[in-house]
Structure 1
Amino acid sequence: MTKFSDLNLNPKVLKAIEDAGYETPTPIQAGAIPPALEGRDVLGIAQTGTGKTASFTLPMITMLARGRARARMPRSLVLCPTRELAAQVAENFDTYAKHVKLTKALLIGGVSFKEQDLLIDKGVDVLIATPGRLLDHFERGKLILSDVKVMVVDEADRMLDMGFIPDIEKIFGLTPFTRQTLFFSATMASEIERITNTFLSNPARIEVARQATASETIEQGVVMFKGSRRDREASEKRKVLRMMIDAEGDACSNAIIFCNRKVDVDIVAKSLKKYGYDAAPIHGDLDQSQRTRTLDGFRNGDLRFLVASDVAARGLDVPAVSHVFNFDVPSHAEDYVHRIGRTGRAGRSGKALMICVPKDEKNFEDIEKLIQKEIPRLDNPLKSSAPAADAEESKTEEKPKRSRSRSRRSDDKPKTDAPAPETAKAEPAAETPKADAPRSDSKPRNESARGGNRGGGGRDNKVVGMGDHLPSFIALSFEDRQAS
């Protein structure tokens, strides 16, 4: 069996590996480290959770142990698709380079440019960055990439999925042609083949597992769910999620719940908290400080449920995640593999459960084709309670119908009796006020007419013309004309 001591790594790096408690490399590490140390380009393909990060950090530290960086000219560059993954790579460098004097800088959004500029100005051996923030620094004239000797693209397929192809190509153009390039990815799409053929020179291809396969230690299942009504589907789906969590009991020590949209991440997290579940959201629109606090809380065990978008699906090393819940079926089949790869890591057992609604069945079929395996169907936890709920809903719907029909009948009935009260009221209205009648007589007559009208039922009495309540100011105008 291969050990790290057989891989020709720097003795100081080996000491750091021993301090971290590792002895045996994973298959991707054993396959990628030797050609990387020889200076060859490497194309590493392995499912998530197999230790790809150490596959490039360990040889990079060994190669960079000799030499010194110059101001604004980093000696190596690591590109990551998300801030969290970039921060995790930085942690790996801290772990394995603690006995080697190497400097590093982390360029990610959500952090002030000033602090990052100070690090770059001093000169760094390792520059870890997201593509957008790296180009921001370059366009501001704060960064020169002509001295990069080793360039790494981590989670390459995710970089391409997120629309970073133009940025990646631009960054490649800013680095020397003689650089060493390391590509690491969980899947190998046709677009990545094009990129690797363009920018890698005779790479050593290390493919540890069949493309896009889930770990055998992960138990999978899916609930095929259809809401009772379209306007109730979302709330019933959240109820199904809660019932699935409750059914797992104490076995669900912690879990990541994935949603396709950021707005659904917030809604699901808020719903879980409302029902007493310890949950918090994490997605790209949150402040970096809040994302870091949430992720740290989940890693430390202070937070039980992490509701996430795909920003947390790739490369994040959160050990001992017992469950993954796919609240939504991912739009891309490859994302399913990365999501459920958050559990069952390093040989541990895990469980991945999913909810599939009718509109997502096509995406679900694509997932089963990709993993070449049928995902077991689970019973709908709402199925047993559905008849009782439907009966209750039908009762609530019938009540307003009966009340409306009664109100219509009550409105119709007085209208048939309307002539009787009108005949009684017509007599005082027939008496036309005389010209010499004092003004005070018209006012009481008008007020009594109004009062009588209200007492007679208001709108139920039929009104003809101006009715029996002639306004006093109109009567007054007639009196003045007759007097003249």
Structure 2
Amino acid sequence: MSFADLGLSEDLLKAVEEAGYTEPTPIQAQAIPPILMMKDIIGIAQTGTGKTASFVLPMIDVMASGRRRALMPRSLILEPTRELAAQVAENFEKYGKNHDLKMALLIGGVQMGDQVKALNEGVDVLIATPGRLMDLFERGKILLNGCELLVIDEADRMLDMGFIPDIEFICDKLPENRQTMLFSATMPPPIEKLAKKFMSNPKRIETARAATTNKDITAFKIPVETRKKRETLRWLLNHDHVETAIIFANRKTTVRELNKSLQRHGFASSEIHGDMDQASRIKELDRFKKGEVNILVASDVAARGLDIKGVSHVFNFDTPWHPDDYVHRIGRTGRAGAKGRAFTFVSKEDAEAIQNVEKLTKNEISVFGKKDVRVDLVEPSKKDEAEERPAKPKRAEREDRSERKEREDKPKRARDKAADESRAEKPKRSRRRDERDDEPTKPGEWNGPVPTFLEVSAT
């Protein structure tokens, strides 16, 4: 199947082709036709499978006809975070370049002036976070009674962040005769209840069981003591063929401290968390996307929806407190058919959290072991230890009687001279171990001892 089979316009197909896409993902193939038919949609799919394009593409065609009015957006997309909202805006700019559509982005952390100006001029597509939208609504800067289409993206994240009351308030202000779409990788009961309340006979599209992880991601858990997490992380970063990686931590203080530690050890890393202003967060994300740094240490502000191509690894420095966050965190890798690896560090205090993750995903995470290591490990052997010891000189008992008698008959000065000459003629001590250490290590190979964390059994 191609995008042309889904009923999209020629101008939109041209933009999709220029973006480098030829075949739709399962969620796109199943969601786009009913959206074009103006049906309500509940879309459940694994993260990284193209949910954003599944509603952005048909929305562009749906919004192509109609007239803009000041302060009254024609469609509304609600996103849980600023980064995700900005990413959806980028998608509209990329795919809607052949259409005369105006878009506005309402997010916190930036001045309201330009946002209010855009609303006054009229917008076809409004992308917003609930907090900033509520703020402008209460100031009388925006009217919602002209909205024909509503998208609630990452709905379960909205629940976690406490946005459900705001969403209910917003939905009450929208016209009843509208098209509503709800998308998420997980679907807890409160979100199901929200869907039933504000949607009319929705079509449920589930390309994979809710809360499942991507088949292209190889996931491991590593039992490790808390004090050895940093050492273990550095070893994996150096020896697991890491190209680009996102490292998630539960606390913002941990994010800052871990980033500084990695930089001290020579890694090109950066950080992103909720205490940073919007401009700084965008700057650090751009540095990561451009390859100026290949490691991004993040709080869960980066766990949902961010589509950064080429992320080869995800590390959960802390096991996430909420099991849903595990699905979204590791979903930053293995995107668009690429392969990825995910590691979760499990300390004693994380035992309950990792059990909740495995209960949610209905899948036991494999313990990382020697068979999973991508480099050659060298076990310290007794032979190597023996080679490191200096060779002991032969004792006098091994000399025959005639040699000993001849030596005893020599004057003391002659004996000393003979001893000096004997020592000078002795071969140099074996340095096989040291010479091996001096040899350059080939890329992707490890010639050191087995790391201690690989000796820890599963818990």
Task: Give the CA deviation at 1:132.
Answer: 0.2
2:322 aligned partner: 332
| CA distance in structure 1 between the aligned counterparts of 2:217 and 2:21, rounded to whole angstroms | 23
AA aligned opposite 2:112: F
| CA distance in structure 1 between the aligned counterparts of 2:209 and 2:112, rounded to whole angstroms | 42
| CA distance in structure 2 between the aligned counterparts of 1:245 and 1:223, rounded to whole angstroms | 14
Q: Which 10-residue stretch deviates more, 313-322 or 239-248?
A: 239-248
| CA distance in structure 2 between the aligned counterparts of 1:373 and 1:166, rounded to whole angstroms | 33
Task: Give the CA deviation at 1:59.
Answer: 1.0
- Unpaired segments ≥5 residues, structure 2: 380-459
| CA distance in structure 2 between the aligned counterparts of 1:240 and 1:183, rounded to whole angstroms | 40
AA aligned opposite 1:47: Q
Task: Give the CA deviation at 1:379.
Answer: 5.0
1:237 aligned partner: 229
AA aligned opposite 1:58: L
Q: Name the % identity.
A: 55
Task: Give the CA deviation at 1:285.
Answer: 1.1
Indicate which of 309, 312, 317 corresponds to 2:299.
309
| CA distance in structure 2 between the aligned counterparts of 1:346 and 1:379, rounded to whole angstroms | 28
Q: Does 1:277 align with 2:276?
A: no
Give secondary structure in 1 for the equivalent of 2:336: helix
Q: Please say which structure displays the higher CA radius of gyration.
A: 1
Task: Give the CA deviation at 1:371.
Answer: 2.0
Larger helix share, 1 or 2:
1
| CA distance in structure 1 between the aligned counterparts of 2:184 and 2:366, rounded to whole angstroms | 28
AA aligned opposite 1:165: I
| CA distance in structure 2 between the aligned counterparts of 1:20 and 1:327, rounded to whole angstroms | 34
Deviation string, structure 1 residues 419-474 (Cα, Å, up to 9, x no partner): xxxxxxxxxxxxxxxxxxxxxxxxxxxxxxxxxxxxxxxxxxxxxxxxxxxxxxxx
Q: What does 1:84-233 correspond to in 2, within 5 Å? A: 84-227=83-226, 233=227
Deviation string, structure 1 residues 273-332 (Cα, Å, up to 9, x no partner): 111111111011101111001101111111111000111011101001010000000111
Give secondary structure in 2 for the equivalent of 1:370: helix
Q: Does the Cα contact within 8 Å between 2:47 and 2:214 map onto a contact in 1?
A: no
AA aligned opposite 2:229: K
Give secondary structure in 2 for the equivalent of 1:347: coil
AA aligned opposite 1:270: K
2:347 aligned partner: 357
Q: Does the Cα contact within 8 Å between 2:85 and 2:105 map onto a contact in 1?
A: yes
Q: Does 1:293 align with 2:292?
A: no
Deviation string, structure 1 residues 80-118 (Cα, Å, up to 9, x no partner): 000000000000000111010000000011111111111
Q: Does 1:323 align with 2:313?
A: yes
AA aligned opposite 1:314: R
Q: Does 1:41 align with 2:44?
A: no
Task: Give the CA deviation at 1:244.
Answer: 2.2
Q: Does 1:344 align with 2:334?
A: yes
Give secondary structure in 2 for the equivalent of 1:13: helix
TM-score with structure 1 setting the length? 0.75
Q: What does 1:393-408 correspond to in 2, within 5 Å? A: none
Task: Give the CA deviation at 1:368.
Answer: 1.5
Task: Give the CA deviation at 1:378.
Answer: 2.5
| CA distance in structure 1 between the aligned counterparts of 2:213 and 2:81, rounded to whole angstroms | 22
Q: What does 1:20-99 correspond to in 2, within 5 Å? A: 20-99=19-98
| CA distance in structure 2 between the aligned counterparts of 1:39 and 1:254, rounded to whole angstroms | 40
May I ask how many residue pairs the two structures share in their alignment? 373
AA aligned opposite 2:255: V
Give secondary structure in 2 for the equivalent of 1:306: strand
Indicate which of 258, 263, 270 corresponds to 2:248.
258
Give secondary structure in 2 for the equivalent of 1:147: coil
AA aligned opposite 1:359: E
| CA RMSD, 1 decimal | 1.5
Task: Give the CA deviation at 1:213.
Answer: 1.2
TM-score with structure 2 setting the length? 0.79
AA aligned opposite 2:148: K
Task: Give the CA deviation at 1:17.
Answer: 1.0
Give secondary structure in 1 for the equivalent of 2:263: helix
Task: Give the CA deviation at 1:219.
Answer: 1.3
Q: Does 1:3 align with 2:38?
A: no
2:238 aligned partner: 246
Give secondary structure in 2 for the equivalent of 1:92: helix
AA aligned opposite 1:335: D
